[in-house]
């Protein structure tokens, strides 16, 4: 293999090693990641993709369930399945393989998937978070591209990154991830004037057009990094990307092949999202439990506080009552004392009066005796 090839197989193997370890660690904590994949109808490419997802999940120790629904499935049935999966604790990630048969409403199905189980990151709120630079889940294909760039330490900051294709699944989120890493990002598409010139100015060129051999040698700057997201099937049955690989690989500093390039990474990133979802939901449940118990704890604390304050109030009341009683008793004592003293005084007065009366009587008797003796003497 040429040494400028960014091999999805090699890089995804390295990422998968880490994910396998992470899964084991999660399981040790009692977290068993689970992924549900829904496929409606018989599209052969979709079947291959779904099969890959199942195999990859198994290889990492992630539990997976595949729901193969018939082509004529009704919208309401599909929505009911999503609702049921939303409610299940053992399913952390849900994805519905697109495209759905034409009679079904994809948007409604995507919006129905629990935002925290939306491992494809297709729900509008998750898309919004990607644009705001705070992704809950990384969009799988663009995240796979970022892993490839990171793996080879390719500098993004300040570099001109040109994304050809503006799909909601690849082009736009790819632009946002490159922008978050401080790339200067240009998004081109079918209406772009001077496409060749713009592509040629790219330090990092991402092709996500869906047209075989669309990016030719003359559109690539020497030394550019070329990422090929396209997967096209040629008439002879062979798969090829959007880039004229054979010729472009001679100019590019790095280039991804098709197959064996970005596609392999996409599935790996889906697994990473599933593990993140499992962790997230586990932590959420712990928080919910805490929140549920929080009011109980709060009530307990409140009761304790109230009991304490009641105790204090009682103590205070008792003390104050005792004090009051004491004062009252002292008052009574004082009154009694005062009363006793008054009695004494009255007694004394009575004694004095009696003494006075006695004195008076003595005086009277003295006077009488004197008068008698006077009369006797006169």
Q: How far, in Å, CA of 57 to CA of 64, rounded?
A: 7
Q: Which helix (H) or strand (E) holds 38?
A: strand 34-40
Cβ-proximal residues to 130 (8 Å cutoff; 6+ apart), any chain: 121, 138, 139, 173, 176, 177
- Decide: is 188 part of the binding site for a second copy (CB under 8 A): yes
Shortest gap between Cβ of 82 and a second copy (angstroms)?
Answer: 18
Bridge partners, residue 207, by sequence: 164, 228
Among 147, 137, 130, which residue's Cα sits nearest to residue 227?
147
Spot the catalytic one: 16, 22, 97, 281. Answer: 97
Shortest gap between Cβ of 163 and a second copy (angstroms)?
Answer: 10
- Decide: is 193 part of the binding site for a second copy (CB under 8 A): yes
- Decide: is 99 part of the binding site for a second copy (CB under 8 A): no
Q: Under a CB-based contact definition with an 8 Å cutoff, are residues 169 and 229 in contact?
A: no
- Decide: is 172 part of the binding site for a second copy (CB under 8 A): yes
Shortest gap between Cβ of 117 and a second copy (angstroms)?
Answer: 16
* 90 catalytically annotated: no
- Decide: is 176 part of the binding site for a second copy (CB under 8 A): yes
* 97 catalytically annotated: yes
Among 51, 75, 182, 216, binds a second copy (CB under 8 A): 182
Q: How many CA atoms lie within 13 A of 207 on its CB side?
A: 33
Shortest gap between Cβ of 279 and a second copy (angstroms)?
Answer: 20
Q: Is 206 exposed, middle or buried (0-12, 13-18, 19+ CB in 10 A)?
A: buried
Among 158, 292, 374, 377, binds a second copy (CB under 8 A): 158
| Region near a second copy per CB under 8 A, out of 142-150, 182-190, 276-284, 326-334 | 182-190
Among 20, 54, 160, 211, binds a second copy (CB under 8 A): 160
Among 239, 260, 215, which residue's Cα sits nearest to residue 1?
260
- Decide: is 221 part of the binding site for a second copy (CB under 8 A): no
Q: Under a CB-based contact definition with an 8 Å cutoff, are residues 256 and 8 in contact?
A: yes
Among 66, 131, 154, 280, binds a second copy (CB under 8 A): 131
Given the complex with a second copy, which of 178 and 275 has the nearer CB atom?
178
* 325 catalytically annotated: no
- Decide: is 184 part of the binding site for a second copy (CB under 8 A): yes
Q: How far, in Å, CA of 293 to CA of 299, rounded?
A: 10
Q: Under a CB-based contact definition with an 8 Å cutoff, are residues 130 and 172 in contact?
A: no
- Decide: is 204 part of the binding site for a second copy (CB under 8 A): no
The conformational region for residue 41 under phi > 0 = left, psi -120 to 50 = alpha, else beta, is: left
Contacting residues toward a second copy, per CB under 8 A: 123-133, 157-160, 166, 168, 172, 175-176, 179, 182, 184-189, 191-194, 198
The catalytic site residues sit at: 53, 97, 120
């Amino acid at each position: 293999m040429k040494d400028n090839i960014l091999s999805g197989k090699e890089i995804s193997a390295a990422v998968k090693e880490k994910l396998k370890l992470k899964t084991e660690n999660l399981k040790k904590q009692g977290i068993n990641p689970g992924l549900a994949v829904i496929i409606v109808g018989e599209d052969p490419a979709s079947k291959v993709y779904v099969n890959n997802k199942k195999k990859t999940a198994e290889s990492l120790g992630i539990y997976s369930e595949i729901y193969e629904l018939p082509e004529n499935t009704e919208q309401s049935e599909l929505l009911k399945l999503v609702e049921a999966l939303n409610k299940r604790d053992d399913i952390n990630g849900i994805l519905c393989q697109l495209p759905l048969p034409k009679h079904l409403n994809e948007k409604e199905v995507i919006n129905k998937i629990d935002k925290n189980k939306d491992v494809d990151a297709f729900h509008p709120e998750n898309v919004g978070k990607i644009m705001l630079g705070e992704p809950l889940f990384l969009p799988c294909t663009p995240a796979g591209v970022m892993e490839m760039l990171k793996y080879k330490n390719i500098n993004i900051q300040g570099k001109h990154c040109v994304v050809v294709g503006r799909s909601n699944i690849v082009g736009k989120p790819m632009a946002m991830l490159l922008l978050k890493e401080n790339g200067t990002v240009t998004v081109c598409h079918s209406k772009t004037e001077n496409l060749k010139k713009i592509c040629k100015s790219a330090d990092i060129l991402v092709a996500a057009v869906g047209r075989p051999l669309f990016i030719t040698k003359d559109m690539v700057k020497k030394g550019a990094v070329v990422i090929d997201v396209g997967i096209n099937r040629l008439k002879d049955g062979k798969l090829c990307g959007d880039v004229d690989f054979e010729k472009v690989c001679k100019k590019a500093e790095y280039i991804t092949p098709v197959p064996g390039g970005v596609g392999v990474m996409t599935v790996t990133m889906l697994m990473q999202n599933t593990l993140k979802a499992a962790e997230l939901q586990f932590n959420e449940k712990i928080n919910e439990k805490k929140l549920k118990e929080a009011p109980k704890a709060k009530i307990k604390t409140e009761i304790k506080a109230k009991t304490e304050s009641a105790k204090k109030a009682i103590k205070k009341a008792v003390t104050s009552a005792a004090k009051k009683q004491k004062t009252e008793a002292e008052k009574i004592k004082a009154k009694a004392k005062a009363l006793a003293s008054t009695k004494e005084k009255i007694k004394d007065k009575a004694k004095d009066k009696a003494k006075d009366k006695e004195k008076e009587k003595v005086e009277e008797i003295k006077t009488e005796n004197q008068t008698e003796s006077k009369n006797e003497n006169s």
